[in-house]
Amino acid sequence: MRSEIITPWTILMNIARTFMNKVNLLGLALPALIFLVSLAIPAYAGGFDLHADWAAYKAMDYDSLIFVEFYYEFNRSSLVFLESAGINNAELSFNFKLLDPQSEIAESLSFSTTLVLPSQESKKDIYFIFDKIPLLLKPDHYKALIKLCNLSKETICDSTILYLDLGPFLDDHLRLSDIAFLSSIEPDSSASKFTKYGRKLLPNPSKTVGYYRSELYFYAEVYNLLPPSAEEEIFVVQYFVTDPGGELFRIMPQVKMLKPGTSAIIIDGIKTSDYPPGQYQLRIKAYDPASQQESITSKNFTVQDQPSNSQDTLQIKAQVSEFGQMLKFIGTSKEQQLFESLTNNGKYQYMLEFWKGRDSDPETPENEFKQDFLNRWYYAVTQFDDHKDDQVNGWESDRGRIYIKYGAPDNIERNNISLYGNEWEKWEYFNIQSGVYFIFADLFGLGQPALIHSTATGEKYDPNWIKKITNDPSNIMENLDESIYD
């Protein structure tokens, strides 16, 4: 799952939300397919891949002020983690300064935090972390300086600058807010700082789509609609996209929407999978037939064909390849066939959507199903890997397969090798199928315990397993003959 940093701004966000909630919710239909919601966002080259963006909104109860949200993200895989007591930590320092036209500090924030790497995840997993800073500002020109440092043996920093030109939101004309690009849209009833109107809106500060993001999601607000009446209760929204040369590239159909009041929100998305690489501009036009007024807002975005960092490409391919192996345990045969038929880009998108669909409790920040499965998977990979045989991975061994499928056993009985028999062990599960057990034995002394018997439905069953683990030469030959024909 993506992460959010808990900062002092959380308190201010709760205050700011009290007046932002006065904007009426417009129930727009969400796109049918929503990707990039359960794993990582692709990384691009440069420092921590620190990206930042901002959007201005009308402060409903503060006519002289403007509500501004700053969004930023950075690439966790670019950080240096130091291990302490078996835990990998990355120490971070964050600095935010907002300068007015006289270069005086209008607002500032500095804090330090520790980022802990979950035990089942790799330091090199491509993973972006988001945060948001809300502020009430006077109309003016500003410059925002954002700096993030990784405090390891050598301090590594990345920074970015934003320029703001904030004008007042007047009440005498239809008006649209700025556009905030989103990475994903999810139903959410929690109090997350990214939740608005019952939906978690994760930002897309890089303003990029393409190889990993097939849709451009966005959020905007509409102000100063005339109150709905029996004669006129709708307003009209339309989207336009211009290409890198400034020419009109796409015109979306007009959508008529019911007025929820004098203000509304727009949460929507457009497909960009067939857009050639380059910089584009999204324009949103709102029109109120009652007042015959219209308003247009716009923002640039970039379509990328391939990740600019070749190392990122290798990491994504490795994640996709490993997920293909995992799917053999938790996917149906149809899901496995569909996954194998996709391109690498399609497999990555499918992986993200698969984990989202298996989340047992979408309202919590963690994906419990994914977490439990990955704990089993990586335990099997590390604990049952046979280093003598590079062709047998831990998850491919019999013990690894059983551990991944059924979880940790409730009891393990180990019997060491002796003059009377081979080394073997018994795994017991008390709450599966009214109690089952598995017998693993190293019949040939090769350090590769194999499943020779189980009482679980669908697993190997051999009532003569005790005979097979004794040191009778005839039994060994019998076992050898069976292994040839298995």
Instruction: Give the residue from 120, 130, 125, 175 showing the smallest Cα distance to 377.
Output: 120
Pairwise CA distance, residues 112 & 154, whole Å:
16
Q: What is the pLDDT of residues 444-464, one digit of tens each?
A: 777 778 899 999 999 999 988
Q: Which residue is listed with tokens 């290798």?
A: 314
List of long-range contacts for 326-331, beta carbons under 8 Å, 24+ apart: 326/373, 326/377, 327/354, 329/373, 329/377, 329/395, 329/401, 329/404, 329/405, 330/358, 330/373
Least confident of 169-173, 271-275, 428-432: 271-275
**Three-state secondary structure call for residue 400:** helix
Would you state the torsion angle of the CA atoms of residues 403, 405, 407, 413, taken in this order, to the nearest 10 degrees?
-50
Full set of structural domains in the chain with CATH: 3-304 (2.60.40.3880), 384-486 (no CATH)
Residue 10: pLDDT band (50, 70, 90) is very low
Residue 349: pLDDT band (50, 70, 90) is confident
Q: What is the pLDDT of residues 208-227, one digit of tens each?
A: 987 666 789 999 999 999 99
Phi, psi of 324 (to 5 degrees): -60, -35
Q: What is the pLDDT of residues 62-115, one digit of tens each?
A: 888 999 999 999 888 788 888 888 788 889 999 999 999 999 999 999 989 888
Q: How much is the pTM? A: 0.60
Which is it for the CA torsion 80, 77, 52, 183, positive or negative?
negative
**Three-state secondary structure call for residue 54:** strand
Residue 148: pLDDT band (50, 70, 90) is very high
Q: Which residue is listed with tokens 């990039």?
A: 36
Which two structure tokens, joined as six digits, stand for 206?
């890089």
Q: Residue 388: pLDDT above 90?
A: no
Would you state the torsion angle of the CA atoms of residues 281, 275, 240, 24, taken in this order, to the nearest 10 degrees?
-80
DSSP 328: H
Residue 44: pLDDT band (50, 70, 90) is very low
Pairwise CA distance, residues 410 & 140, whole Å:
65
pLDDT (0 to 100) of residue 485: 35
Residue 365: pLDDT band (50, 70, 90) is low
Q: Which helix (H) or strand (E) element contains residue 370?
A: helix 368-383
Q: Which helix (H) or strand (E) element contains residue 249?
A: strand 248-251
